[in-house]
Structure 1
Amino acid sequence: MPPGGNLAPDPRQRKAAAWHMAHNLPMHLSSPTPFPANRPRRLRRDAYTRNLVRETVLTPHDFIYPVFVHEGTNLRVPVPSMPGVERLSLDLLLPVAEECVKLGIPVLALFPSIDTQLKTPDGKEALNPDGLVPRVVRKLKAEFPGLGVLTDVALDPYTSHGQDGLLDDTGYILNDETVEVLVGQALAHAGAGVDMVAPSDMMDGRIGAIREALETHGHIHTRIMAYSAKYASAFYGPFRDAVGSSANLGASNKNVYQMDPANTDEALREVALDLAEGADMVMVKPGMPYLDVVRRVKDEFRVPTFAYQVSGEYAMLKAAAANGWLDHDKVMMESLLAFKRAGADGVLTYFALDAARLLLAK
């Protein structure tokens, strides 16, 4: 027994402590008790124990369901690059909204497919208080007042060039002039009764301008979910097909306003700016390739943080499942669980209906 009467540390404990120090890990992250006294497989032995110690849980309340809407009646147009996803006229969207309510999905996100003849270089149709999106918002809130409705604030569905902003004579996207239009678009949606606006354009200062306008016009309860870390990603292709902006965009890109996929510190700066300007929630887009960003944002700011499982992610999983390479339901649920595990409070996902049905069937 050493001086002082204390027992000498067990050699195995000294070894465990040395390993943790060498790897810069605090001892509390895992038990210092080595095998065989510590057998982690004991907690994996049966289903009830696995359920008991599960750290992350999915529910239908974690999902926001993105839907594509277009003009007309009884119109259902499949999106070829997104199997199972359709553009719907308002009358066909209503049963979808009803199912969201029954399944417990809290929010429906609207994305319009605008008639080609309404697209202009300045995207002025985005300001129309009686346009497609405001009319859909009014109907949804009248029929399903308990269902949250979120609208996209961006100009790419409305511009003839497919960009999210106004262009100068050289084709460069103008920031401040675009923000003025986005403010008008957000006010049109708020006036129709939308619950949340989600600016996805990535213009500088647009959150502050929209928040100020909402307050000035009495829309103090309208929430802003900011696309704070939206990357210039190759995973957006099927979405652009769905809203009809792909052909307009052509060979152009959005690199001068969307973020470089190589950067994460920049994402934290963008989130900080949006929160300071009045965002209630923030989003990372795309989702799965950027789970590291989701985790950094959540750890740094501890605010409601969402991720968008974008069209390209959805299309990849659908294609692999269709070819028999992956189990559809299992990879769907695993992918959604990954977002929650990374720190997301919720996920925008085209799998929302399928995932909610599976969860409720358990």
Structure 2
Amino acid sequence: FFSFLFFFLVVVVVFSVNDFKMLVRLRCKEGCLRVNVQDNGTIADLLEGGNSELRKRKSKEKGQAIAQDVKYESIYNPQQTLQEAGVKKGDLLYLKLESEENRPNEMKRGEGAMASAVCANHGPNASCVQCMINSRINVHRVKETTVKSFQMDLTAGTKFQNFVLNEIIFEVDRVGILYGEVTTSEDKHEVTVHYIYEPPQNGEPNSFELKEGWKDELEVVDSLATAMGLVRVGVVVSHAGVMHNISTKELLLLGELYQPKSSKVFMFVVLAILESGEPGMVVFEVTKRFFELFWEQEKGFFCVSSKPAFTKTIKEIYVDKTYTTTIDNDYFILPVAIQPYASFLACEFGIENREGWGGRKEG
């Protein structure tokens, strides 16, 4: 009788203890953690339980917060009780790890909005149809420009054009970096170019090469622009006898010069012989999607193809309902009208980096 009574009491105690515990699942990039926690415990207790499970897996990760959603937008107060937080037995919550700190405002290559997130449907090593859709790199043709107006200082534009026409005579390409202002109203941009900086370069037929040390000189020009309240707003390139609007090499230069923290919009200007037989400038807005891919994907995502008007990608992209690794560069540009403008700036100094082409003669 006493043996039976002892066994009965042990069973009652065991079941009583288990009745006060509940299983909660915590999803993180280490997988799904199953945590037993007292139902009168707190979110902090649940967090400690999650970290205990991570230690059992010999993981170097450590949880810092628990959230209701996979994007960690609704994070629980650690002092809340599970009942106050509405956490129930069997719930699936999300454990934010210390390695998942918020990214800085200024993007780094490969660390943009397309960085991978944990799917709520399964663990980190699995995949589903929704994962495939979410991870797909979509590119579509943009139909409407965000640029309301584009103005270029008449003197700056004329001096660049005259140099190409009279000195280079379109024998080689010439590149310049546009500096100016961008004002934005209701998601529409007004771009004004005040001056053109020509970096040290070697022109080639239908191409150009920037000389070693050009970035050091660019830093000085950027400092002067900042002092005047101006920023980089685009690039101008002379084209001679080519059929494409923009080459991959030019796209990559635009991506490198674009400043994610300060650039609202970036322009590409082509000086070429128009269909009328007269020289003129054609202006394009470079799409936001190009810069997203340039900065969010790893370095080298875009690469030169055998056709100048097309760009290759190291990963498949989804274009016009088709997976491909080659895209027409025109997907990344939109035509914009150009208007003359008289800047408040004036310069009588010789123009730098024109050695060998009659440089410094023109003020």
**Fold shared by both chains (TM-score > 0.5):** no
Higher fraction of strand: 2
TM-score using structure 2 length: 0.27
The structure with the largest alpha-carbon Rg is 2
- TM normalised by structure 1 equals 0.27
Structure with bigger helix share is 1
